[in-house]
Amino acid sequence: MAKAQGAGGNRIVQWIDYRLPFVKLINHELYEYPTPRNLSYWWNFGSLAGVMLVIMIVTGIFLAMQYTPSTTGAFNSVERIMREVNYGWLIRYIHMNGASFFFITVYIHIFRGLYYGSYKYPREFLWMLGLVILLLMMATAFMGYVLPWGQMSYWAATVITNLFSAIPFIGHGIVTWLWGGFAVGNPTLHRFFALHYLLPFVILGVVVLHLYALHTHGSNNPLGIDAKGPQDTIPFHPYYTVKDLFGLMVFLIIFTFVVFYAPNFLANPDNYIPANPLHTPAEITPDWYFLPFYAILRAVPNKLLGVTLFFSSVVVLFFLPWLDTSPVRSGRFRPIFKWLFWLWVIDVFVLGWVGDHPPEGIVIPIDRFATLYYFVYFLILLPVVGKLERPRPLPESIAAAVLHAAAPRRETETERA
């Protein structure tokens, strides 16, 4: 415990810490940081996302050392990485699948926040910083997907940048400006590479702010009630460090399984065909993590409206802290919300399915209905239900709830013995 005061025994560290209390800060924020004692495994996904960000930056830097950002060189340089660079195949497969697993962690992290009301007072700004990270991730992943310059790279870049042409009057000007020419080409690839290298470090900066905001009011928890004193919290280390490490190992088992045994399972085979501006692929689909948004984009026949809905689907999340009118955070104590929430989760999966199918026949009405529910959930159901619903009584405190629940179990165990 003496350690907690300063920076441990090392004199050099002490010397520095007196002048720049960095070790003290880490000690305070990562070791002692009082954390609710009842966090479930759903709380692992924040740290998992952080690990994925680091993995993406490290593998990305090594890829960039061998990658050629030109329309004639890009495809060949990626093949060269896969064939000739030492462990290049490993680094590239980690980076390529890492993007998918990064999104899996972040999406679960967001679903967790939605269910347990982590976006409510006093964590609104923390929530919004998270959404900024999501938007930056989307931009980064989109531009990364363009870099290998396969058929899907080229055509996804063309379709997505073309969305901006829906903006009245200035749309076409904006698209030409984005491309740096009159079609997706060498200047586009160059700038996408520059931005793809830059944005992850911007994300890193926003992650620091996200954590700063988190540590200001502390973590939410499955009960959604505030920690009221030391009996409700435990130090982050060793309790949550060891729990996070265990979760990380389980997560890495699944991740590495895909990297080593199904590295192209999540990829579109067309992206192993070099980009060809003269030949449009039969179907242009984005990576899976964009499919729900892609479905929303195509839900209406009007391009401008589609693009508006597309952007609104993320923007609406920024207003969530004020749209949800219920004073109770955790979905556990909200009998009606609970159902609507799970329906919304299913709805997002349905949108994902829709996004992977050509918009024809039965797919169109399903798309419209699912898009409608996506927005109705936020704009109508959450504001209204928060007012009408009668929440179940909240426990007095975290400690009371946790220890109370544990007590009878211990009794039966001793009885049996």
Partner 1 sequence: MAKTLAAALLLAAIGLVPTYARAADPPLPNKPEPWPFTGIFGTYNEAALQRGFQVYEQVCSACHNLSHLHYADLAGIGYDEAQIKAFAARSEVTTVNNKGKMFKRPARPSDLFVGPFPNEAAAKAAFGGRAPPDLSTIVKARAGGPDLVYGILTGFTKAPKGFPMPPGTFYNKYFPGHRILMPPPLHPGAVHYADGTKATVPQMAHDVASFLTWASHPNLDERHRMGFKVILFLIVAAAVFYAAKRKIWSRIH
In contact, 140 and 203? CB cutoff 8 Å: yes
User: Quick check: 196 binds ligand HEM (CB under 6 A)?
Assistant: yes
| Residue of the chain from 203, 225, 259, 350 that contacts ligand HEM (CB under 6 A) | 203
In contact, 57 and 30? CB cutoff 8 Å: no
| Residue of the chain from 92, 210, 298, 332 that contacts ligand HEM (CB under 6 A) | 92
Site map for ligand HEM, 219-258, x if CB under 6 A?
----------------------------------------
CA distance 289 to 144: 14
Closest listed residue to residue 130, CA positions, set 50, 31, 245: 50
139 HSE (CA, 13 A, CB side): 20
Which range in 192-200, 213-221, 300-308, 350-358 contacts partner 1 by CB under 8 A? Answer: 350-358
Q: How far is the CB of 56 from partner 1 (least distance, A)?
A: 18
Backbone angles phi, psi at 234, to 5 degrees: -135, 155
The neighbour count for residue 173, using CB atoms within 10 Å, is: 12
| Residue 66 parent element (H or E) | none
Q: Which residue has the tokens 């109770």?
A: 328
Residue 147 binds which entry of ligand HEM, partner 1, none, with Cβ cut-offs from 5 to 8 Å by kind? ligand HEM
Residue 239 binds which entry of ligand HEM, partner 1, none, with Cβ cut-offs from 5 to 8 Å by kind? partner 1
Looking only at residues 220 through 279 of this chain, which bind partner 1 when binding is defined by CB under 8 A?
234, 238-239, 242-243, 245-247, 249-254, 256-261, 263-270, 272-273
Site map for ligand HEM, 13-32, x if CB under 6 A?
--------------------
Helix axes 45-64, 236-261, angle to 10 degrees: 50
Which range in 139-147, 243-251, 320-328, 362-370 contacts ligand HEM by CB under 6 A? Answer: 139-147
Q: How many residues bind partner 1 (CB under 8 A)?
A: 55
E strand segments, 203-263: 233-235
Please report the sign of the dihedral spanned by the C-alpha atoms of residue 316, residue 375, residue 219, residue 13: negative
Return the number of the residue (7 or 51) whose C-beta is nearest ligand HEM.
51
Amino acid at 301: P
DSSP 8: -
| Residue of the chain from 25, 26, 61, 380 that contacts ligand HEM (CB under 6 A) | 61
| Residue of the chain from 44, 158, 313, 371 that contacts partner 1 (CB under 8 A) | 44
CA distance 325 to 187: 48
Q: How far is the CB of 182 from ligand HEM (least distance, A)?
A: 25
Closest listed residue to residue 90, CA positions, set 133, 128, 121, 58: 58
User: Quick check: 31 binds partner 1 (CB under 8 A)?
Assistant: no
Looking only at residues 265 through 304 of this chain, which bind ligand HEM when binding is defined by CB under 6 A?
271
User: Quick check: 148 binds partner 1 (CB under 8 A)?
Assistant: no
214 HSE (CA, 13 A, CB side): 23
Q: Residue 113's Cα: distance from chain center in Å?
A: 11
Backbone angles phi, psi at 266, to 5 degrees: -90, -5
| Residue of the chain from 90, 166, 300, 336 that contacts partner 1 (CB under 8 A) | 90
Q: Which residue has the tokens 């982050």?
A: 236
Strands 233-235 and 34-36 turn out to be: antiparallel
183-186 contacts: CB < 8 A, separation 24 or more?
183/158, 183/277, 184/154, 184/157, 184/158, 184/277, 185/71, 186/70, 186/71
Return the number of the residue (234 or 252) whose C-beta is nearest ligand HEM.
252
User: Quick check: 29 binds partner 1 (CB under 8 A)?
Assistant: no
Return the number of the residue (281 or 306) whose C-beta is nearest ligand HEM.
281
Residue 99 binds which entry of partner 1, ligand HEM, none, with Cβ cut-offs from 5 to 8 Å by kind? ligand HEM
Give the residues lining the site for ligand HEM (CB under 6 A).
53, 56-57, 60-61, 63-64, 67, 78, 92, 95-96, 99, 102, 137, 140-141, 144-145, 147-148, 196-197, 200, 203, 271
Residues near partner 1, by CB under 8 A: 37, 40-41, 44, 76, 79-80, 82-83, 89-90, 104, 107-108, 234, 238-239, 242-243, 245-247, 249-254, 256-261, 263-270, 272-273, 282, 285, 288-289, 291, 349, 352-353, 355-356, 406
